[in-house]
């Protein structure tokens, strides 16, 4: 029987410039280094069975990335973060892990939206306010995306589930079903002159019995001694 665990981890600081592909390689090596026995795929070229959730763009930070691991030998999920963290680079911290039932939907399928914190330090506050009012009041928000070499126009408005402002910081909940709306696409659609800002994913959301919930229930995260913020050095 398959033994699967789900891990929530951060990507903060200098390592925000790693790509999604880099992340997969780092996890493979870190798990091997920490002695966690991962199950391998069958076939000509066996690979460790790791599956990541929605890709985070290179340059974005996150407090809540997810990874599902197929284990060859079971580990206490309460201990997994402590086992693997010494092998992860600065800024990447496994916060919590839990066993998952085989056959549950993959992260890619299950995650319906993400919450983003976007800091636009170079844009005047009133201009941000104005832009947000304009978007929230509109019925549609056309964006142009490339698909198989063709440029097509989509309406991004339905994917904006929430959008608030605190000074130069925007907080946005953006849908990832049926298509993920990226923070950069949102900003470009509001005002192309705003730039990309500094982007932090704070949450990913799934729907369980009609209620919004993180892919791992975080209720008792702090009581387990795991901390959702990285050690100070990671921010340097």
Contacting other proteins within 67-86 (CB under 8 A): none
Q: Least CB distance from residue 119 to other proteins, whole Å?
A: 12
Q: How far apart are CA 224 and CA 236, in angstroms?
A: 26
Q: Which is nearer to other proteins, 38 or 50 (CB)?
A: 38
First to last CA, the chain: 43
Q: CB of residue 192 vs other proteins: minimum separation in angstroms? A: 15
Using the minimum distance from each CB to other proteins, give the nearer residue, 38 or 143: 38
Q: How far is the CB of 5 from other proteins (least distance, A)?
A: 17
Cα 128 from Cα 124, distance rounded (Å): 7
Site for other proteins in 28-57 (CB under 8 A): 28-33, 37-38, 40, 44-46
- Identify the CA nearest to 53 among candidates 117, 84, 9: 9
Q: How far apart are CA 99 and CA 231, in angstroms?
A: 26
User: Is the Cβ–Cβ distance between 99 and 4 less than 8 Å?
Assistant: yes
**Residue range at the interface with other proteins (CB under 8 A); choices 15-23, 148-156, 166-174, 220-228:** 15-23
> Which one of 53, 64, 81, 91 is in contact with other proteins (CB under 8 A)?
91
d(C-alpha 4, C-alpha 73), whole Å: 10
Q: Which helix (H) or strand (E) holds 125?
A: helix 125-137
Q: Which is nearer to other proteins, 18 or 163 (CB)?
A: 18
76/14 Cα distance (integer angstroms): 30
Residue 23 CA to residue 19 CA, distance in Å, equals 6
Among 20, 59, 142, 144, binds other proteins (CB under 8 A): 59
Work out which of 2, 58, 76, 231 binds other proteins, going by CB under 8 A.
Answer: 58
Q: Which residues bind other proteins (CB under 8 A)?
A: 14-15, 17-19, 21-22, 25-26, 28-33, 37-38, 40, 44-46, 58-59, 87, 89-91, 196, 236
């Amino acid at each position: 029987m398959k033994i699967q665990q789900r891990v929530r981890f951060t990507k903060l600081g200098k390592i925000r410039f790693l790509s999604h592909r880099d992340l997969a390689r780092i996890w493979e090596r870190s798990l091997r280094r920490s002695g966690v026995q991962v199950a391998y795929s069958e076939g000509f070229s066996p690979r460790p069975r790791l599956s990541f959730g929605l890709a985070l763009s290179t340059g974005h930070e996150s407090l809540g990335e997810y990874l599902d691991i197929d284990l060859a030998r079971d580990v206490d999920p309460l201990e997994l973060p402590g086992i693997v963290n010494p092998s992860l680079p600065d800024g990447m911290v496994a916060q919590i892990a839990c066993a998952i039932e085989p056959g549950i939907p993959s992260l890619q399928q299950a995650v319906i939206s993400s919450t983003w914190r976007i800091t636009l330090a170079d844009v005047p506050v009133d201009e941000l306010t104005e832009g947000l009012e304009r978007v929230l009041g509109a019925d549609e928000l056309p964006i142009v995306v490339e698909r198989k070499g063709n440029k097509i126009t989509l309406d991004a408005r339905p994917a904006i589930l929430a959008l608030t402002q605190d000074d130069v910081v925007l907080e946005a909940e953006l849908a990832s079903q049926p298509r993920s709306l990226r923070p950069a696409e949102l900003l470009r659609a509001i005002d192309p002159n705003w730039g990309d800002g500094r982007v932090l994913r704070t949450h990913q959301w799934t729907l369980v019995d009609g209620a919004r919930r993180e892919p791992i229930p975080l209720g008792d995260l702090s009581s387990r001694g795991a901390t959702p913020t990285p050690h100070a050095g990671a921010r340097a």
